[in-house]
């Protein structure tokens, strides 16, 4: 299937994070199977959703993982001018929930599977669930990748980054600062040091 047809199929699965992604997973499994590629599920504990891992090419180390999440954010209360789960095309763009984030990437990668048959190093697909609600699906899948796949050279996550390669993730640094003053009676401020005033000034 060509990329746009695959995007249409994938967007057509209503994989809002609160719902099951299994119909999409089944579709990808059978698509890969049609191309002679075996895949395996890494399901959620309640069996309601699943990750999917597949290897195209030889079972060797040095491959690359193409990773994407299959869930999308809800459409509740949003004023869509067309059905969000049916791709609408204009001259230049495709519109639909998840076209960009990030079924488009998955679709393009899957569309290239027929051309991946002569690879000397493998391409691994790693599709997750529940990314939009805290990356709940990926950790179990990462465990299986670590345990069972030959060591890989890298992971490409097809998140939208305005077509720029991003090599890190937004992070957070938490700092705790203690400012110690010198206690004195409030009638004699010249004999003490206020920690509050000092901390505010340094900030």
Catalytic residue among 71, 101, 148, 183: 71
**How far apart are CB 159 and Zn ion at their closest, in Å?**
5
Residue 33 appears among annotated catalytic residues: no
Considering only 14, 19, 26, 101, the residue that binds Zn ion (CB under 5 A) is: 101
Among candidates 129, 126, 121, 89, which has minimal Cα distance to 110?
A: 126
**How far apart are CB 60 and Zn ion at their closest, in Å?**
29
Considering only 22, 66, 87, 102, the residue that binds Zn ion (CB under 5 A) is: 102
Residue 130 appears among annotated catalytic residues: no
73 or 149: CB nearest Zn ion: 73
Spacing of C-alpha 76 from chain mean position: 21
Q: Which one of the spans 48-56, 71-79, 100-108, 117-125 is the region binding Zn ion (CB under 5 A)?
A: 100-108
Q: Which one of the spans 48-56, 92-100, 103-111, 155-163 is the region binding Zn ion (CB under 5 A)?
A: 155-163
29 or 132: CB nearest Zn ion: 132
Residue ranges binding Zn ion (CB under 5 A): 101-102, 159
Instruction: Please list the active-site residues.
Output: 71, 131
């Amino acid at each position: 299937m060509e990329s746009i047809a695959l995007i249409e199929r994938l967007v057509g699965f209503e994989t809002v994070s609160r719902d099951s992604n299994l119909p999409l997973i089944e579709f990808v499994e059978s698509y890969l199977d049609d191309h002679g590629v075996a895949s395996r599920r890494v399901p959620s504990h309640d069996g309601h959703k699943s990750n999917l891992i597949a290897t195209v090419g030889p079972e060797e180390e040095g491959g690359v993982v193409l990773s994407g999440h299959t869930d999308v954010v809800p459409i509740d209360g949003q004023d869509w001018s067309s059905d969000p789960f049916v791709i609408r095309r204009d001259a230049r763009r495709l519109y639909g929930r998840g076209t960009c984030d990030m079924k488009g990437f998955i679709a393009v990668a899957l569309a290239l599977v027929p051309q991946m048959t002569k690879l000397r190093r493998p391409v691994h697909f790693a599709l997750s669930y529940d990314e939009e609600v805290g990356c709940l699906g990926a950790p179990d899948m990462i465990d299986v990748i670590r345990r069972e796949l030959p060591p890989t050279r890298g992971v490409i996550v097809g998140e939208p980054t305005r077509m720029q390669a991003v090599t890190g993730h937004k992070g957070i640094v938490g700092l705790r600062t203690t400012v110690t003053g010198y206690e004195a009676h409030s009638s004699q401020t010249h004999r003490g040091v206020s920690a509050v005033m000092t901390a505010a000034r340094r900030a």
